[in-house]
Amino acid sequence: MLGQQWPYAVATLLFAAGMWLLLPRARPQGRPIGAALVCVGLALLTLLVHFGLAVGVPGQPYWSWQAGEPSGGAWAVDIVFLVLAAVTVLSAVAAVTLRSPVYCAIWFGLTLLGTAALFLYQGAQFLALATVVVYAGAILVTFLFVLMLAQPEGDTYYDRLSWEAMLSACAGAVLVGILTMTTLQAFRDPGPTIGTKAHSPQAAQARAKGILASEHVASLGGQLFSTHLISVEVAGSLLLVALVGAIAIVAQATGNRLDRPGHAAEIGRAEATGHALGGPTHG
């Protein structure tokens, strides 16, 4: 039983208000309050989702815990998951709301490490490694390179302003709230099919032989190169095409900059249009 629905709305609203206060705005007051609101909202969401807090279930005390007591020794496992999830989500909040894009990239790196740890916790060893190597090692470093190339002066006015911070915070929070509600409604009272899959010892044995087997990478590679072989080939072609495309785009840009004689005038014209468009000229 899910209980009444207003606690979810409260958690979502707190989260939205905190995100709005945290996002860069013209008047930067209230950022500590925003951080506190985000933390409170996420903590309430944790109570509702992880610990199964339910309010106003008929036939039970007004506040009740639906998830049941964790069995012996499960507290440590639960705490590991909670810490990993908290690191991931809070660093994601920091990555989106901080003003300096370099700090954003670094906090996003922490989000990636948290996600990799969550993958590892699920037994997806190869994906955890691939996330660290590909995302944190390659993509994030490319982001930092571009940042250093494009914005060496650091602070700019457009990092201290947002589009419609309140509307976007509300949109994101409503999305999170709806997803939470529907997910919990589907799983708090699982039907016989889902329940069998979740709790039966046969399913646990199948998992131990299947997705949690000790030869994890070998099994994943077997799947990848037998069932999904064509997809692998297509992905390889996609990488090649993306490489060619990126080189073509950059080559065109540098051709514009260096080779064309009338280029300085064109840049001057672009600048002039930018100013005429009403963007702030300082910063």
Residue 249 lies near another protein (rule: CB under 8 A):
yes
Q: What is the rounded distance in angstroms from the CA atom of residue 244 to the CA atom of residue 96?
A: 31
Q: How far is CA 267 from CA 23, 122, 150, 225, 264, in A?
A: 32, 52, 16, 50, 5
Residue 222: how many other CB atoms lie within 10 Å = 11
Q: Which is nearer to another protein, 33 or 167 (CB)?
A: 167
Footprint (CB under 8 A) of another protein, residues 47-66: 49-50
Q: Which is nearer to another protein, 62 or 203 (CB)?
A: 203
Q: What is the DSSP letter of 63?
A: E
Q: Min. distance of Cβ 55 from another protein in angstroms?
A: 18
Task: Name which of 229, 231, 230, 209 is nearest 219 in CA terms.
Answer: 209
Footprint (CB under 8 A) of another protein, residues 225-244: 227-228, 231, 235, 238-239, 241-243
Footprint (CB under 8 A) of another protein, residues 88-107: 88-89, 92-93, 95-97, 101, 104-105
Q: What is the rounded distance in angstroms from the CA atom of residue 203 to the CA atom of residue 210?
A: 10
Footprint (CB under 8 A) of another protein, residues 180-219: 180, 183-184, 187, 190, 194-195, 197-199, 203-204, 206-207, 210-212, 219
The one among 1, 47, 110, 143 contacting another protein by CB under 8 A: 143
Q: Which is nearer to another protein, 57 or 143 (CB)?
A: 143
Please give the single-letter amino acid code of residue 3.
G
Q: How far is CA 105 from CA 20, 87, 160, 211, 239, in A?
A: 20, 15, 16, 33, 24
Percent helix / strand / coil, the chain, rounded to 5: 75, 0, 25
Applying CB under 8 A, which part among 1-9, 53-61, 132-140 lies near another protein? 132-140
Write the binding mask 146 to 185 for another protein: x where contact by CB under 8 A, - elsewhere.
xx-xxx--xxxxxxxxxxxx-xxx-xxx-xx--xx--xx-
Footprint (CB under 8 A) of another protein, residues 254-283: 254, 256-257, 264, 267-268, 270-271, 273-274, 277-280, 282-283
Residue 43 lies near another protein (rule: CB under 8 A):
no
CA 235 to chain centre: 23
Residue 110 lies near another protein (rule: CB under 8 A):
no
User: Number of helices and strands (H, E) in the chain?
Assistant: 12, 2
Q: Min. distance of Cβ 30 from another protein in angstroms?
A: 13
Residues 119 and 210: beta-carbon distance below 8 Å = no
| Residues touching another protein, count (CB under 8 A) | 125
Terminal CA-CA length for the chain: 54
Footprint (CB under 8 A) of another protein, residues 7-36: 19, 23-24, 26-28
Q: Min. distance of Cβ 269 from another protein in angstroms?
A: 10
